[in-house]
Amino acid sequence: MEHPPDQTLRAALWISGAIASFLLMAVAGRVVQAEMSTFALMFWRSLIGLGLVLAVWRALGPGRPTLRPASPRTHALRHTVHFAGQNLWFWGLTVLPLAQLVALEFTSPIWVVLLAPLLLGERFTPRKLVVALIGFCGILIVARPGLAPVGLGHAAALGAALCFALNILLTRRLMRDNSVLCVLFWMTLVQTGLALPTGLATGMGWPSAALWPWLVALGVTGLSAHYCLTSALNVASASVVAPMEFLRLPLIAMLGMVLYAEPLDAFVFLGAAVIFAANMLNARGPRPARV
């Protein structure tokens, strides 16, 4: 489907905001984890995010949406899965080059293809099988088992992608009966509750003064990245948004090279291109008719 130029431009602007948020989140995540665990990071990030969501909700006035959840069990499951994925992703920041982590993260839509028939009852078509096989080939090129060391960092990155895929599927259910603010409120509240005991168990203390700007950055970007990405998908289709979002890979690779002297790995880019091709094949697939 063709999109008017103004819609494509608006989607590009929203994606620019999402990419900038993800890049800042990656840098802030590495800085913060020099002093605290991923669980402690998630506690402060979620607590700051909760304060921001409540401030926005209050500012909306009498017409604001309700924060009462329509499906508490789905909320609890969704936010717990997302909490696990975020912890794996932030830990992956400390053990993998940025480009490799992001390349493996891009497998999330492929996991959605595999999980949707099991969780949502969607039909598993030959096209979806081809998408999954192409995506798996991309994973092998990025990780290169047998040719390069494959460790817990790769498992963490793929685990994060799997959790993000489950998160997408559960969010589809939640958005039928819950507002965006309701989902964000319960996400930050549940994750604050999950991160508090795990953070204390790993020695969480009061952050140093130098760390507070980075924690605030994590709290803000955690909300802004997903808001910008959702807004982009509201004005353009996934087949238009996906190529724009893929720009995150070369940009974060350059960031890793400049800030952390990480080499540019041709195999990571090749594997990411294969994963991207699988995602585009899936995005351009037939869509169910709208009722």
Confidence at 208, pLDDT banded by 50, 70, 90: very high
Q: Give the three-state DSSP class for 236.
A: coil
pLDDT-based confidence at 291, cuts 50/70/90?
A: very low
| pLDDT one-digit tens code per residue, 78-103 | 999 999 999 999 999 999 999 999 98
Distance CA 161, CA 106 (A): 7
Q: What is the mean pLDDT of the chain?
A: 86
Which amino acid does the sequence have at 215?
Answer: L
* pLDDT for 240 beyond 60: yes
Burial 258-280 (b: 16+ CB within 10 A, else e): eeeebeebeebbebbebbbebbb
- Of the pLDDT bands very low, low, confident and very high (cuts 50, 70, 90), residue 217 is very high
The arithmetic mean of pLDDT across residues 9-32, rounded, is 92
What are the tokens at 236? Answer: 């353009």
195 within 8 A of 43, measured Cβ to Cβ? yes
281 to each of 77, 114, 132, 133, how far by Cα in Å? 30, 14, 10, 12
For the chain, which residues make up each domain, given as ranges? Answer: 18-283
Residue pair 98/203 in contact (Cβ under 8 Å)? The answer is no
Distance (Å, whole) CA 108 – CA 86:
13
- At 238 the pLDDT is 67
CB 45 within 8 A of CB 90: no
Percent of the chain surpassing pLDDT 90:
44
- Note the pLDDT of residue 1: 47
Q: Mean pLDDT throughout 221-233?
A: 85
Q: Give the per-residue pLDDT at 107.
A: 86
pLDDT at 288: 41
Band (pLDDT 50/70/90 cuts) for residue 30 is very high
- Chain segment 131-152, per-residue pLDDT in tens: 888 888 888 888 776 556 678 8
pLDDT digits (tens, 9 = 90+) for 35-72: 999 999 999 999 999 999 999 999 998 888 899 988 89
Q: Which helix (H) or strand (E) holds 168?
A: helix 152-174
Q: What is the pTM of this model?
A: 0.86
Among candidate residues 225, 224, 228, 205, the one with its CA nearest the CA of residue 44: 205
pLDDT, tens digit, for every residue of 187-200? Answer: 999 999 999 999 99
Give the pair of three-digit tokens for residue 45. Answer: 């990030």
